[in-house]
Amino acid sequence: MTTAQSITLASRPTGSPVPENFALVDRVMPDPGAGEFLVRVIWLSLDPYMRGRMDDAKSYAEPVAIGGVMEGGAVGEVLVSNHAGFAVGDIVTAQFGWTTHAISDGEGVRKVNPDVAPISTALGALGMPGITAWVGLNEIAAAQAGETIVVSAATGAVGGMVGQLAKAKGMRVIGVAGGPEKCAFAEAELGYDICLDHRAMDAKELAAALKAAAPDGVDVYFENVGGKTLEAVLTRMNTGGRIALCGAISWYSGQGIAEAQPLPAVWRNILTRRLRVQGFIIFDHFHLMGQFQKEVGPLVGNGTIKVKESVTDGLENAPAAFIELLKGGNFGKQLVRVGDDP
C-alpha cells in the first residue's frame, strides 16, 4: 500500500481562483491490479486550461468534480508494474493529475526517452505546449516563410515555442509579452525580431506600436491571450490573414469581459479583412505527436530550441503557482517538482 498526497478541488471559484478552492489530502493507494502499474510523479505541469476545469460548465472536457483530484499532465517513474508494456524504472507521461502517485492501465500513457532531452520537457517543449505550437503554426495557420506573425504570451510555454518555430521557418516574428524582462528574453534568446510590452501600453498605443513593428501588416496571429492584444492585432491584420485561436487567458476568470471590444467591431474586422479564424483543441491532434517529436525532438535536445522553465518545489505549492500563472507571473513553462528527478 502506498500513501499519496493529492490536491483536490475543494470549491468552485468565482472569478480568479483563491487558495481556499484547493485542498491537500492524503490518500491510500491500492496495489496495482492485473494490467496496471504504479507511478511516482516527478514533474507536474500547470496550464491555463485547468482554470476551465474548475467551473461546472459545458466545455470540450468534463469539469473536475468537487473533491476530485485536479487534472494535469505529469511525468513520473514506474515503481511497480503488472503491465506487459511498462517496466519498473520506465519514465512515462500522462494526465496523472496533481498528485504524488497514480495507478494507470496504460491508456493515454506515453514513454519518455531521457536520452533525448531532460524529462521535464515532456510537459513543455516536447509535450502538450510544444505540439500545440507546432500544430497551430503549421496545420491551423498554414504559416509560410516570408510572412509576418504576431505571437501573444510570447515567452510562455506555447508562445515561446511558436516564436522559435516561426523564426526557423523564415518568418518575421513579433511578440507581445508582459514586462521588459520577458521582452528582452524574447528578443535575445528566442529570436523574436521585436517584442512589445503590453503592460506599458493601452490598446491604442499597442496598435500604434504594432503598426511600427509591422508596417506591411500581419499575416498570422497566434492567439493565446484575448483582451487588448487581440483588439490591437485585429487592426493590423492583412487581407486573407489567419488567426490560430489557442486560448484567451485574459478572460478565463471573467475579468475584462465587460471592457472588451464589442462583438460587432470584431466581426467587422474579420469580415472586411476576410480573415480565417480557427479555434483548436490540441487533444484533437495528438495523432501527430510522432511526427512532431521526430521533427522537434532533436532541436530541443541539441539546444537549437531554447527551453525556459519556471519551477515551483513541492506539490503543496501547486495552487499558489497556478494562481500566479493565471496572472502572468510565470516565466516560461510552469512546472511543479513533485519528486526527485532520476
Copy the grid coordinates of residue 108: 493515454
Grid look-up 496495489 returns 31
H helix runs in 150-274, sequence order = 157-169, 180-188, 203-213, 227-234, 263-272
- Taking the model in full, what pTM does it have? 0.85
- pLDDT of amino acid 60: 79
Per-residue pLDDT of the chain (342 residues; tens, 9 = 90+): 789 999 999 999 998 999 999 999 999 999 999 999 999 999 999 998 999 999 998 877 889 999 999 999 999 999 999 999 999 999 999 999 999 999 999 999 999 999 989 999 999 999 999 999 999 999 999 999 999 999 999 999 999 999 999 999 999 999 999 999 999 999 999 999 999 999 999 989 999 999 999 999 999 999 999 999 999 999 999 999 999 999 988 887 777 787 878 889 999 999 999 999 999 999 899 999 999 999 999 999 899 999 999 999 999 999 999 999 998 888 889 999 999 998
Q: Residue 176 belongs to what H/E stretch?
A: strand 172-177
Copy the grid coordinates of residue 12: 468552485
Copy the grid coordinates of residue 241: 490573414
**What structural domains and CATH numbers belong to the chain?**
2-124+307-337 (3.90.180.10), 128-282 (3.40.50.720)
- pLDDT of amino acid 198: 95
Q: How many CB atoms lie within 10 A of CB 88?
A: 11
Calculate the alpha carbon distances from 80 to 1, 3, 100, 217 in Å: 11, 14, 14, 56
Q: Round to whole Å and give the CA distance between 55 and 57.
A: 5
- β-pair partners for 251: none
Burial 243-276 (b: 16+ CB within 10 A, else e): bbbbbbbbebbeeeeeebbeeeeeeebbeebebe
Calculate the alpha carbon distances from 86 to 40, 80, 89, 103, 316 in Å: 14, 9, 9, 12, 29
Judge residue 216's burial from the number of C-beta atoms within 10 Å of its C-beta, 0-12 exposed, 13-18 middle, 19 or more buried: exposed
Q: For the chain, give the number of residues.
A: 342
Grid look-up 469539469 returns 63
Is the Cβ–Cβ distance between 288 and 312 less than 8 Å? no
Copy the grid coordinates of residue 334: 510552469
Q: Round to whole Å and give the CA distance between 326 and 153.
A: 12
**Among 338, 335, 296, which residue's Cα sits nearest to residue 315?**
338
